[in-house]
Amino acid sequence: MIRAFLLSLGQLTDPAILRVFLKSIGLTLLIFLLLGAGLWFGTQWLFIDQLGWGQDAAEFALIGEFVATFLFGWVLFRAIAVAVIDLFGDRIVVAVERKHYPQALASAHDLPFARSLRMGLASAGRALAVNIVLAPAYIVLLVTGFGTPLLFFAANGWLLGVDLGEMVAVRHIAAGEMKAWRATTRWSRWELGVIVSALLSVPVVNLFAPILGAAMAAHLFHGRRA
């Protein structure tokens, strides 16, 4: 895992990876801002225009909406960032394979954009669904001081392990072999997911975390096969 991290970190200046980074971070921030603006104006429309609440009550509701958005924004940002990286992730994997695993690149299967889009949407849907289901447990565990982050990293480590691992595996493994591959790589993918989930929780670093995760997934996949 350390080798995968250091190799991925050293390739961040690769022009192909930098292009993916700029595209992915731009699209991620745009989607995040559009969703935030839509939620804000939607709340105003609901409470003021439709329910006829007074301005004071509506402002209180808007403050509550802002707090909720702030608290769960880290979940939403993670879901959007990983979904977006699924769209461009094959380019990161190709850059890693071109430099470190040229033989594997020669036999890889390119993913159609439609499949990458489906994988990205499925990733975002899983992340939001799981974290919404776990939200009550997150709140209850706040009293422990450490239970909430432990549960968050455990759950999102599993989610990210699925997303990042399969992003690489589908380029090299036949559909009939995926089940066996998932079973034998479960813990290494979860470990990768936990690390990337932790990086996504650190300001500024979280902008690079999906890129690092995709590159690390490529190194782990090919390192294990070798």
For a pLDDT cut of 90, what percent of the chain falls above it? Answer: 10
C-alpha dist (Å) from residue 213 to 38, 49, 116, 191, 206: 30, 44, 16, 11, 11
Give the separation between CA 147 and CA 132, rounded to whole angstroms. Answer: 17
Residue 71 has a pLDDT of 53
- What tokens appear for 10 in the block? 């050293």
Give 221's pLDDT tier (boundaries 50, 70, 90): very high
Q: For the chain, what is the HEC assignment?
A: CHHHHHHHHHCCCCHHHHHHHHHHHHHHHHHHHHHHHHHHHHHHHHHHHHCCCCHHHHHHHHHHHHHHHHHHHHHHHHHHHHHHHHHHHHHHHHHHHHHHCHHHHHCCCCCCHHHHHHHHHHHHHHHHHHHHHHHHHHHHHHHHCCHHHHHHHHHHHHHHHHHHHHHHHCCCCCHHHHHHHHHHCHHHHHHHHHHHHHHCCCCCHHHHHHHHHHHHHHHHHHHHHC
The model's pLDDT over 155-164, given as tens digits with 9 standing for 90+, comes to 888 988 888 8
pLDDT of 73 over the 90 cut:
no
pLDDT in tens, 128-175: 888 888 888 888 888 887 888 888 889 888 988 888 888 888 888 887
Task: Give the residue-averaged pLDDT of 189-198.
Answer: 90
Contact 206, 161 (CB under 8 A): no
Which amino acid would we find at residue 216? M
* Biggest alpha carbon–alpha carbon distance for the chain: 67
Give the domain range for residue 105.
2-225
When mean pLDDT is compared across 23-27, 196-200, 211-215, the lowest value belongs to 23-27
The Cα 7–Cα 43 span in angstroms is 45
pTM of the model: 0.80
User: What count of other Cβ atoms lies within 10 Å of the Cβ of residue 173?
Assistant: 17
- Indicate whether 79 pLDDT > 90: no
pLDDT above 70 for 65? no
Flag whether pLDDT at 216 surpasses 90: yes
Number of domains in the chain: 1
